[in-house]
Amino acid sequence: MNDKLIIVSTRLPVSVSKVDGKLRYESSAGGLSTAIDSLKKSADSVWVGWPGIASDDLTPKEKTEITTELQKRGCYPVFLNNNEINKFYSGYSNSTLWPLFHYFPKEAQYDSSYWDMYQDVNMQFARAALKFATANAKIWVHDYQLMLVPKMLRDINKDLTIGFFLHTPFPASEVFRLIPEREALLEGVLGASLIGFHTYDYVHYFLASTLKILGYENTLGTVRLDNRLVQTDAFPIGIDYKKYAKGSYNRKVSSIQRTFDLFRAKTQVILSVDRADYTKGIPERLDAFELFLDRHPDFLRRAVLVIVAVPSRGDVNAYKELRATIEQKVSRINGRFSTIDWSPITYRYQPLPFDELCALYARADVMLVTPLRDGMNLVAKEYVAARHSHNGVLILSDMAGAAIELTDALLVNPNNTSQVADAIYEGLTMRETDQRKRMRKMQARVSQYTIEKWAQDFVKELSDSVKKRDTNAKWLNQQQERVLLDDYKKSSRRLILLDYDGTLKNFADSPDADRSEPSIKLKKLLKTLTQDKQNKIIIISGRKRTTLHKYFRNKDIGLIAEHGGWVYDDGQWTKFNQNTSDWKKKVKPILKEFVARTPGAVLEEKDFSFAWHYRQVQPNLAYVRKEALKTKLRGALGTDDIGVYEGQKIIEVKSKRMNKGVAVAGLAAKNQWDFILAIGDDYTDEDMFLAMPTDAYTINVGTDHTNARYQIRSVDDVLELLRLLI
Ligand code: GDG
């Protein structure tokens, strides 16, 4: 059977309304629904979303009717009431996130009741999606309104396959970090296994934010969380090419064009089509057109600007103001340049039927697409598809994601009025051969990477990300765990080696001993394990012996401190290391200098080693400093027997001969054990794993490449395994 595909987006592709007390269903054949239709061939799918009507207006019976009717169309409704629509949709989504994601911090409203509702509604969507989440299902969550859904789903079922796609820009981290709930939003999205954006710039900004705000590093776009990998990538959305290519020359379209030409024969048409949104740069576009007319009055009566602004988000104040601004400008320009039988701007504040839109695309000599910011911008691509005559000029803002692909457009900075005015002139006067050359190149691109390709690509990458996750890791499965427990039970001379930080205890912000004390529960657990006289438990850590001693006063627990520098057995500490005074003198000033210059860095001096901790350093700075520090330390140490190592947010300097492998090799080799278990998470534990006999149970905690036989995901899973031993 095919895997199930669950699409989750705020709006469903079907809108429900009530006319004269009767429910009416209207399919909006948007690009995404076309793409999903194409995926349906290979997957059984369901679309979860809001049907566009407030639930306050519906009786329980009507809700049931809607659910049944939508089911027939492959949809499942999430009902929202007026208060939810107001605070979640108009509020947090469109008055907080939308302006910030488009670099309009001044328009952004911060209201905690919006945020509360955003969380509530995201949870409703997650729950609705879960109803369909069979074991192999893929869940694809869309856009900025639902950023918390991936994590909400993951928290409920950690094995789900979840993808997330953002249709807007992802802003630079300096803007993103203005959002009060920035951490929760990033964590929310990181619940997915694959996160898609329109361009690499947005991927890059997202990764920069996760690094700066959450401290999560990435390797070539893959974010390594403690227990999962999250892949990020660019998937530039396409359009249903054939629909616009065909749509521009059917009979109805031709007749619309003839009517249009009755009024505008021999006139060049400049076209502008957008949702009336302040991000689309409509007032700025009007200014540029006015400047163009000022500079080239010979174009009066020879060129007209047709502006289609589709009403949008009328409940939000900024949108009401925008309408007033546009209308003032249109009327001023028309007032300045109109004659009794001609005016330079035709303005429409209403949506156009599809055929009329196509007729205009096909008729427009110049298409003016100059958003101040735009995730992609589909209008630009639709114009290209509709040009079956292969001529026409696209003027495109380089602030739109589409500019990365459509480099044969006349690219402009929408804030540069003079440049846009010049581009209008250049477009209207461009030679036909140049127009065709540019247009054909753009058509080749847009016809290749269509909306179907985009969706198929994303879903395939999502499946692959799961396969990679499963093949890369050596997760200890239930059957292997049963064998381990069985071997444990059957054995009577057991050696259990346990690393501390990152294995028995989650990392604290600072290396201070007080911050990482074992909990009473953990102490009890270890005590119970040691009470079984068939067990030899040893905590093996890079920490100082004084710290380990403070943590574990139980004489029956063996301790190995400083990666083997000190060993505690039978109530006695033994020192296993050589003189360190020479090399320590050399490197200490360097380490101190790097602490002074790096806010948040901490130097820990131990008997046989140094640790330079950078967990609390601002991540970008940490990256630069740690690389510089390693180079400087290695230079100072020369070919000494002393090594510089990188661990979990730590640079360590210690003898190359002092490591956990050396520390336990002798012990493990003693022929006295019939069961060995070694668990650790850091590079130093890899030495320990390598020193173990092949039949030992070696377990790495986390997602790193490892020499251990098995991996488990988290400290909690380690503790659970130890509990099972008991
Ligand atoms: C978001 C992102 C990203 C417009 N007027 C009429 C009409 N339209 C159709 C267009 C086009 C769609 O609406 C607008 O899409 P855009 O991409 O231009 O802009 P957003 O609505 O802001 O979309 C954007 C997109 O998501 C996809 O990821 O590209 O960056 O902001 O399809 O044709 N359609 C009809 N009459 C109109 O008057 N029939």
Domains of the chain: 3-234 (3.40.50.2000), 241-448 (3.40.50.2000), 478-577+658-725 (3.40.50.1000), 584-655 (3.30.70.1020)
- Give the nearest ligand 1 atom to 280 CA: 22
CA distances from 672 to 108, 491, 611, 654, 668 (A): 68, 11, 35, 31, 8
Closest listed residue to residue 98, CA positions, set 4, 37, 179: 179
Query: What's the confidence (pLDDT) of residue 323?
Result: 95
Residue 313 dihedral angles phi and psi, to the nearest 5°? 45, 45
Contact 61, 88 (CB under 8 A): no
- Comparing 616 with 380, which gets the higher pLDDT? 380
Instruction: List, for residues 175-198, the tens digit of each pLDDT value.
Output: 999 999 999 999 999 999 999 999
pLDDT-derived band at 512, boundaries 50, 70, 90: confident
Q: Across residues 289-313, what is the average pLDDT?
A: 95
| Best probe residue, ligand 1, of 100, 275, 278, 308 (max atoms within 8 Å of C-beta) | 275
- Give the nearest ligand 1 atom to 379 CA: 18
419: pLDDT strictly greater than 50: yes
Residue nearest to atom 21 of ligand 1 (CA): 275
- Least reliable range by pLDDT among 156-165, 213-222, 590-599: 213-222
Q: What integer best gives the mean pLDDT of the chain?
A: 91
- Give the nearest ligand 1 atom to 308 CA: 38
- Comparing 503 with 228, which gets the higher pLDDT? 503
| Residue percentage of the chain with pLDDT more than 90 | 73
321: pLDDT strictly greater than 70: yes
CA of 209 to the centre of ligand 1 (A): 28
372: pLDDT strictly greater than 90: yes
CA of 354 to the centre of ligand 1 (A): 12
Instruction: List, for residues 668-678, the tens digit of each pLDDT value.
Output: 877 789 999 99
pLDDT-derived band at 6, boundaries 50, 70, 90: very high
Contact 402, 381 (CB under 8 A): yes
Instruction: List, for residues 112-160, the tens digit of each pLDDT value.
Output: 999 999 999 999 999 999 999 988 899 999 999 999 999 999 999 988 9
Residue nearest to atom 15 of ligand 1 (CA): 378
Q: Out of 422, 499, 501, 682, which one is annotated catalytic? A: 499
CA of 559 to the centre of ligand 1 (A): 64
Enter the pTM of the model.
0.83
Query: What's the confidence (pLDDT) of residue 30?
Result: 59
Query: What's the confidence (pLDDT) of residue 537?
Result: 94
Q: Across residues 432-443, what is the average pLDDT?
A: 97
The pocket around ligand 1, CB under 6 angstroms, is made up of 167-168, 237, 273, 275, 308, 310, 351-352, 354, 357, 374-379, 382
Instruction: List, for residues 234-265, the tens digit of each pLDDT value.
Output: 999 999 999 999 877 777 777 777 767 656 66
699: pLDDT strictly greater than 90: yes
| Best probe residue, ligand 1, of 377, 382, 396 (max atoms within 8 Å of C-beta) | 377
Query: Known catalytic residue: 470?
Result: no
Instruction: List, for residues 679-691, the tens digit of each pLDDT value.
Output: 999 889 999 999 9
CA of 218 to the centre of ligand 1 (A): 33
- Give the nearest ligand 1 atom to 400 CA: 30
Q: Is 501 exposed, middle or buried (0-12, 13-18, 19+ CB in 10 A)?
A: buried
CA of 77 to the centre of ligand 1 (A): 23
Residue 435 dihedral angles phi and psi, to the nearest 5°? -60, -45
| Best probe residue, ligand 1, of 307, 378, 404 (max atoms within 8 Å of C-beta) | 378
36: pLDDT strictly greater than 80: no
Structure tokens at 696: 């030992």
The Cα 194–Cα 141 span in angstroms is: 10
Query: What's the confidence (pLDDT) of residue 1?
Result: 43
Structure tokens at 518: 């074992």
- Least reliable range by pLDDT among 217-226, 559-568, 648-657: 217-226
CA of 379 to the centre of ligand 1 (A): 6
- What angle separates helix 149-156 from helix 182-189, to the nearest 10 degrees? 60
- Give the nearest ligand 1 atom to 31 CA: 32
